[in-house]
Amino acid sequence: MFGYYLRLGIKSISRHPALSFLMMLAVGLGIGVSMTLFSLHYTMSADPIPEKSDQLFAVTLDAWDPEDSYRGNTQGLPPWELTYRDATALLESDIPTRQIAMHKSYFTLNMDASEIKPFMVTTRQTTKDFFEMFNVPFLYGSAWDSATDESLEQVVVLSKATNEKVFGGVDSVGKTIRLNTHDFRVLGVLDTWEPKIKYYDVNNGAIDESEDLFMPFALSAALELPFGGNTNCWKQEEIVGHQGMLNSECIFIQYWAELTSAQQKSEYQAFIDSYANEQKKLGRFERPINNRLDDVVSWIEINEVVPSDLTIMVGLAFLFMAVCLFNAVGLLLARFLAKSPVIALRRAVGASKRAIFSQHLVEVGLIGLGGGLIGIVLAVFGLMGLSTLIEDIDHVARFSWSLGAIAIGLSLGATLLAGLYPTWRICRVQPSSQLKTQ
């Protein structure tokens, strides 16, 4: 029967092409506008590492100003980052399966006798677990080991793009690059790694690209590397030189722990809380104990990676879609009721209400499908428009197959729901009332 209804529906639609197109356009406009904004929202709030996001925890400790919570934030969250001394103390724990302390910095990459003009690179100073923890793929070589984390050996892992720029993409393991005045040996080269959200450090823009190269965390103190990310201080203390910064209450270190079971997590929570209590005895951590372990998804949430502007616009866009649907219902009603005489005839020669209902619902579905397709086209253009409006969002303002499926599903669902009333009206047509006026 479905095939027959489908044929009837297509026939009915092609008999009134203009009106049918108008209905699809009404639905399509609503879908297009809401899917444009929803897609951006969906991509930015999506879990960037679904295979283990519930095992990775951002570690935050509240060692902030006793007089004032961090940036006066209202939810009473601890600061986003740690002090250097707290981070190095936490690294001593053997509870987590993996853990990393890290910060961002920058260098001038300059090669001897080479046509490559010196250029600035962003770097991440991190302990070795970074790559295994965040499932970072390697193209050549590997990460450093725990011995290298201690040895102060000057080694780097290059991003794929950096390797292409400096070594033309060949296997550069074992080669040397010069950063400022230091020589570094290449240990590994990453494969393409483009997390849409830079969830492991959202401080300088949650949709920034990941760093150009990676090196052991211990080199940060040894080479007195500048802190290139976000540095925040609350305490009025004399800070002299690089060592002064490392000893200060300023925060600039990001810290993550991989905890694979609930038991491990509660053990680790107990560990950081007891660390904070220890520090209280030394006159630090004067605020109430407030140390958190946030998994990736809640980290993205509390850092407001999705701007509230966008959420508001998605809401308004869905309201706009409601107006479009009201519109489509009106048009459908007009169209179906205009067909009353034909329906009456069919009812008179034996079609059941059920058959009439199904037949028209299939027709409504076809309109929803058409609207969904128009909506997808509009959303693709809409996202292109958004990327020209806002710099550097190309990689999140992208349409995908799954978003296409959502668009079609939404369009079908909303149109069928809205079409229920007109369809119900039409199967209540009394054969007698219509036939007698002919």
Kindly list the residues in this chain that would bind another protein in the complex (CB under 8 A): 22, 26, 29, 33, 37, 106-108, 110, 117-120, 180-181, 226, 231, 233, 236-241, 244-245, 250, 307-309, 311-313, 316-317, 319-320, 322-324, 326-327, 329-331, 333-334, 337-338, 386, 389-391, 421, 425, 437
Identify which of residues 36 and 55 has a Cβ nearer to another protein in the complex.
36
Closest CA to 257 of 266, 248, 249: 266
Q: How far is the CB of 330 from another protein (least distance, A)?
A: 5
Q: Bridge partners of 295?
A: 57
Least spacing, CB of residue 387 vs another protein, in Å: 10
Q: Backbone phi, then psi, for 377, in 5-degree steps?
A: -60, -45
Per-residue 3-state assignment (H helix, E strand, C coil) for 73-92: CCCCCCCCCEEHHHHHHHCC
Nearer Cβ to another protein (173/314): 314
CB of 346 to another protein, least distance (A): 21
Q: Choose between 108 and 142: whose C-beta lies nearer to another protein.
A: 108
What lies within 8 Å, CB to CB, of 27 at 6+ separation is 324, 325, 328, 367, 368, 370, 371, 372, 374, 375, 411, 414, 415
Cα dihedral 250, 134, 182, 229 sign: negative
User: Is 173 or 321 the residue whose CB approaches another protein more closely?
Assistant: 321
As a whole number of angstroms, the distance between CA 284 and CA 277 comes to 9
Residues in the chain: 438
**Residue with the two structure tokens 């966008």:** 310
126: nearest Cα among 226, 214, 188: 214
Residue 35 in contact with residue 406, Cβ under 8 Å?
yes
Residue 49 or 202: the one with the smaller Cβ distance to another protein is: 202
State the Cα–Cα distance between residues 44 and 361, nearest whole angstrom.
36
Query: Would you say 144 and 155 are in contact if contact means Cβ atoms under 8 Å apart?
Result: yes
Burial of 23 (0-12, 13-18, 19+ CB in 10 A): buried
Least Å from the CB of residue 133 to another protein: 29
Please report how close the Cβ of residue 46 comes to another protein at its closest, in angstroms: 20
Cα gap 325→27, rounded to integer Å:
6
Query: Of the two residues 306 and 410, which places its CB atom closer to another protein in the complex?
Result: 306
C-beta closer to another protein: residue 168 or 241: 241
Of 275, 224, 263, 240, nearest to 88 by C-alpha is: 275
Closest CB 269 distance from another protein, rounded Å: 30
- Residues paired with residue 178 on neighbouring β-strands, in sequence order: 183
In the bound state with another protein, the residue whose beta carbon lies nearer, of 291 and 327, is 327
Of 189 and 397, which has the nearer Cβ to another protein? 397
In the complex, minimum distance from the CB of residue 327 to another protein, in angstroms, rounded to a whole number: 4
Q: Which two tokens stand for residue 119?
A: 């250029």
Least distance (Å) between residue 288 CB and another protein: 23
In the complex with another protein, which residue's Cβ is closer, 243 or 274?
A: 243
CA distance linking residue 83 with residue 403, whole number of Å? 41
CB of 240 to another protein, least distance (A): 7
> CB 333 → another protein: shortest distance, Å?
6
Distance CA 80, CA 70 (A): 9
Which tokens go with 427?
A: 């199967």
Q: Which is nearer to another protein, 300 or 324 (CB)?
A: 324
Smallest separation, CB 127 to another protein (Å): 24
Q: How far apart are the first and last CA of the chain?
A: 30
Q: How far, in Å, CA of 381 to CA of 393, rounded? A: 14
